[in-house]
Structure 1
């Protein structure tokens, strides 16, 4: 539990490559199983970014403490010296929204070729695919892959384009890049997820497909404990009609539950695990007490932390 407090303070990103349009069944704020008994990857990914990151062990303890202090002060919006549940949830949502905004801005510059502050389907298609679709010098397998990606992008662009004029406003382009954030795109998110995991094309997800999407055992490899947990999740909770498959309705309940706020749950979890005096909030001392854990192997093995933006400090 000591490890993720550092992640908590350093900000939230979702490392999505600029042209990666695949909306998957990301487990709320991370694609890792949320099980502290087997590691803190979920908590790390809720607050860490892999892209454009710096290794945290480059910071001295003094630098770490100074930086954490500034970030805690930013999270503590009422300046009472404590981080409350509401402030922590707001921080998580703020980092998530900031990532989405920055991701859209980055892509906007790439695709708005005529600088008219709109992105047409033609602009997107030409920038993304160029001549790949018709280049017969490309291997057939690659061309088929490009065609599949093209069809998927075209379908999503049309769905995001509310007025059907073939041109995306910034709001529509945001829905295109991050459909999971827009209510009118959620049906498509479910459809894409089913298509990704449904290997035999029968329109539903079996237990084997469900497990195989995240874990494939190599020869002689022992199945990790979290896989057994996922099998239980599938059978006892995800497959609500107990027919052995997940249909579109069950997938929607899984990946886009109406009654679950990932930021709310993560804030509650982090306070529960880190609040030593059980007063429902985090003091500066409770946070700073974790500094000695920053450079231990579990954290540095994970890789990198996205450092908070300079203009936010």
Structure 2
């Protein structure tokens, strides 16, 4: 009995450690994120373009290179971007590269945890592998979580994980490829998962279980009063925002479509815009695609170096005077 108790305690500890991501609260509004912290003004320099094309961390590496080293590395990047090896970089290929550069942290996160879940090392992760790794002893128990005080919470978590796994699993075999597992862990980054993101958001905020979000539920998601203190001005402003902007049909609540309009409102795609911009500025023969030479001829827009940064610093100093 003592051994059994010890095993249960260890299983419970593992459960608390491994129970995962679908319950973590994130920023509700998934606007297309900025590609750079810099203002996009080519007359003042190309730092925005560098960070958009390379990602913020990789852009810092290029900033330390000589022009020769920077152009050499850029040439190797162009070879990677040209997926079909036709010696042209299309708008679609450039978009895909920028998306990967911007989402590098996501892919690194997936890679970091991949071995934890791929128990049989077949380079795929089944629902059973994920469930057993995440929920351990309780995943196989006949009465799931029955001895836990908050068992209903964990049951909901596992059901929600399973629903999300099914949605991410495009071929319906309940075995996730790396791409599908990425969509499972980071659904806000995959177009085909966005409706589920809306559903999960609504469920998180809907405290009374009526399938809708009223103004108090909307406010409680971002602010909780303590000791009957008066609400700050910004909370009153958010209440009015709910009435004027969020509640589109003016029935006092947000339904699924209104939540969707709120958290996924933007039709502006900065990756699409930046891809078109880089092509427009580098496409000498105006065939709406780029050769490797056209990119290298305009290398300082795509990547940085000590030389380009020095030039930008001089320009800024001149403007200051």
TM-score (norm 2): 0.57
**Residue of structure 1 equivalent to 2:28:** 26
CA distance in 2, matches of 1:186, 1:220: 37
CA distance in 2, matches of 1:136, 1:248: 31
Distance 1:193 1:82, change over 3 A: same
**Residue of structure 2 equivalent to 1:141:** 149
1:162 equivalent to 2:170? Answer yes
Of Structure 1 and Structure 2, which has the larger fraction of its residues in helix?
2
**Residue of structure 2 equivalent to 1:62:** none
Q: Deviations over 1:63-119 (max 9, x none)?
A: xxxxxxxxx9xx99x9x9824554455546677401111111112121111111100
- Alpha-carbon contact 1:18-1:107 (below 8 Å) kept: no
Alpha-carbon offset, residue 221 of structure 1: 2.7
**Residue of structure 2 equivalent to 1:102:** 108
Structure 1, unaligned stretches of length 5 or more?
Answer: 1-16, 31-41, 48-71, 266-281, 289-313
Q: Deviations over 1:194-234 (max 9, x none)?
A: 10000011011000000001111001434233322322221
- Alpha-carbon contact 2:127-2:175 (below 8 Å) kept: yes
Alpha-carbon offset, residue 163 of structure 1: 0.7
**Residue of structure 2 equivalent to 1:243:** 251
CA distance in 2, matches of 1:106, 1:252: 31
**Residue of structure 2 equivalent to 1:126:** 132
Distance 1:210 1:136, change over 3 A: closer
The alignment's C-alpha RMSD in Å is: 3.8
Alpha-carbon offset, residue 140 of structure 1: 4.0
CA distance in 2, matches of 1:245, 1:172: 34
CA distance in 1, matches of 2:136, 2:47: 50
CA distance in 1, matches of 2:316, 2:120: 49
CA distance in 1, matches of 2:257, 2:179: 27
- Aligned residue pairs: how many? 215
CA distance in 1, matches of 2:26, 2:156: 16
**Residue of structure 2 equivalent to 1:199:** 207
Alpha-carbon offset, residue 264 of structure 1: 10
Alpha-carbon offset, residue 287 of structure 1: 8.9
1:229 equivalent to 2:237? Answer yes
Structure 2 residue corresponding to 1:82, chosen from 8, 24, 45: 45
- Alpha-carbon contact 2:29-2:262 (below 8 Å) kept: no
- Alpha-carbon contact 2:124-2:177 (below 8 Å) kept: yes
SS at match of 2:28: coil
Structure 2, unaligned stretches of length 5 or more?
Answer: 1-17, 57-98, 274-310
CA distance in 2, matches of 1:125, 1:18: 9
CA distance in 2, matches of 1:285, 1:211: 48
Distance 1:157 1:137, change over 3 A: closer
Alpha-carbon offset, residue 20 of structure 1: 1.4
Alpha-carbon offset, residue 147 of structure 1: 0.9
Between 1:147-156 and 1:250-259, the stretch displaced more is: 250-259
